[in-house]
Amino acid sequence: MPLRSIESRRLYRQIADQLRKLIAAGEFPSGERLPAERDLAQQLRVSRPSVREALIALEVEGLVEIRGGSGVYVRAKANGARPAPDSEWGPLELIRARALIEREVAAQAAQLATRKQIATIEETLASMEAEAAAGNAPLEGDRAFHVAVAEAAGNSVLIELVQRFWDARDGKLFRQLGRHFESPRSWQAAIEEHRAVLVAIRKRDAKGARQAMQHHMDKAHARFSASWRRVRRAD
């Protein structure tokens, strides 16, 4: 049996490629609604998060329009937007990876953080609250919080890794996903989740810090995985 080349492209990219070809072939005409996310996942035998990432990638390219409360529709005419780079991580996959690493970072921070480092974490949370109170998405404070926790863990490799996570968090796909699912309500929930991490670190409770960070990541994943029909919910 001859060897076959290994497919190294990200799964959501492979899904997006299939859907793009079907759209180009007229399988899904302009203005038509695509099958439900659940149905696409079953037909392709992949996870719903991977399908969601593929749909977001197609929306970034201008091939589809995601209408909250209705579904995903093929655009009558592409808007000419440039696609996200092939190297960009899928947002939901990124959150799961962050959970594995950052829960242990938080536990380590609870054991090693100095008073000055804890004060810095407190300041970043206050920054998040101020940004949210001003009606802005508190992304700067959010990044600063997670980096400050990593710095308190005392490992330069982990600091750089958390920074790399946040560089990816600023990619086209994650920003587009945020436009659909982030809101004043979701950010307030995230702030309270961050506060629980801080409280555990203050108490030197490594187990509690680990659990609080895992809870935060689980909730973040759930917020971005909500039904499209809930996108336009009131805040």
The CATH number for 46's domain is 1.10.10.10
Global pTM reads 0.86
First to last CA, the chain: 58
Res 188: pLDDT: 97
DSSP letters spanning 100-118: HHHHHHHHHHHHH--HHHH
CB 128 within 8 A of CB 138: yes
Q: Assess if residue 226 is contained within a domain.
A: yes
Backbone φ and ψ of 157, nearest 5°: -65, -45
Backbone φ and ψ of 206, nearest 5°: -60, -45
Q: What residues have CB less than 8 Å from 185, skipping those under 6 apart? A: 235
Domain membership of residue 69 as a residue range: 11-74
Both 69 and 96 in one domain: the answer is: no
Both 52 and 168 in one domain: the answer is: no
Among 48, 74, 100, the domain-final residue is: 74
Q: Which amino acid is at 78?
A: A
Q: Assess if residue 195 is contained within a domain.
A: yes
Both 222 and 108 in one domain: the answer is: yes
What's the rounded Cα separation, in Å, for the pair 151 and 121?
10
Both 49 and 150 in one domain: the answer is: no
Residue 149 maps to which CATH number? 1.20.120.530
Both 123 and 196 in one domain: the answer is: yes
Both 172 and 207 in one domain: the answer is: yes
Res 3: pLDDT: 43
Res 145: pLDDT: 98
Q: Helix, strand, or coil here: 67?
A: strand
**CA 50 and chain centroid, separation:** 12
Q: Assess if residue 83 is contained within a domain.
A: no
What's the rounded Cα separation, in Å, for the pair 189 and 152?
24
The pLDDT averaged over each successive group of 10 residues in the chain (235 residues) is 50 92 90 92 90 94 87 78 74 95 98 98 98 95 98 97 94 91 95 98 98 98 80 44
Q: Assess if residue 108 is contained within a domain.
A: yes
3-state secondary structure labels for all residues of 168-183:
HHCCHHHHHHHHHHCC
Token pair, residue 48, equals 């719903």
Both 204 and 145 in one domain: the answer is: yes
How many domains would you assign to the chain?
2
Res 77: pLDDT: 67
Res 235: pLDDT: 40
